[in-house]
Structure 1
Amino acid sequence: MTERSGAVENADRMLARVALGDRQAFESLYQTTSATLLGICMRLLADRAEAEDVLQEVYVAAWGKAAQFDASRASALTWLGTIARHRAIDRLRALPAAANRAPIEAIEATPDDAPSPAARAEAAGEHARLDDCLDQLEPRRQTLIRTAFFDGATYEELAGRSGSPLGSIKSWIRRGLAQLKACLEQ
């Protein structure tokens, strides 16, 4: 028997004794498994104090639920590790988001990527101008350009949809773009 399998069987026996209320077995179980369980908690929670709090919750749960442990389904370490993982995840979800824990002074240093009101107004003006220029194109070119550039259709897809030759589609779009350019430069 390897040292690891011996420790697993020992933990199984200790947990069975804990189910009977044996405090010595509980202390031995803690000594045997606490480092591993703390590692599980630390992997999920970056804060050691939080991980230690969760570890305490794990052993309180183990003391109260030891009678539910079934050695035929999992080892004691696996059972305790599952409790630790679930409790750590619950704690992680309950913690405020990192941004909410940041000092208020950090907000001033955080860049705002949203466009300014002036930039939004300018973009709206350019959008209206583009719509006006598109409306001046003949309907076929207007539809092809809108579909190609706003819907992302390829030239081949446009040729298939319209039943027109690929070369004609490319020419119509090229001429339409030239007209748009001239209109926008006015």
Structure 2
Amino acid sequence: MGPEEITKLLARTALRDRNAFDRLYRLTSAKLFGVCLRVLKDRAEAEEALQEIYIKIWHKADRFTANDLSPITWLVAVARNHCIDRLRARKKGNRPLDEAAEIADAAPGPEAQVAASGERRRIDGCLNELEAERALAVRGAYLDGETYAELAERFSVPLNTMRTWLRRSLLKLKDCLEA
């Protein structure tokens, strides 16, 4: 699964190509499910969120531009942001409406789980190359759904410092993953 293939599938999905969308789902659902599970920490809620995320992807695939981000980064951002929105709604006592009740079970199959575990090892290896505090901040922001303000408070640094830490850490991770 290369970025070029995912970019093409997103472009075809934007044109409402159901076969492309199905292939995109099969190639990326394990990774996005992992993001959902890490942020939400509840399998049932993560499965529900994944369904909602793919509905968003179906409707917003035309918003992806290959120049801005890698396609998987864009998909992960969609998933992460959706899950963080769910967490915020949970904190406020509101549960999002179940827009995806009629979508089939989104649990990844065994092949997708194996692919996701290989990708996970690569990401963990790259995270281990970061300074310990930076790696914890990245995990907090992008895997656990903590806000920049929460992280700044936890690490006793100014908010802009936390933003800089995360931006620089993401650039290092990108370089490591592309190597």
Task: Return the TM-score normalized by structure 2.
Answer: 0.49
Larger radius of gyration: 1
> Which one has more relative contact order, counting CA pairs under 8 Å at least 6 apart?
2
Task: Return the TM-score normalized by structure 1.
Answer: 0.48
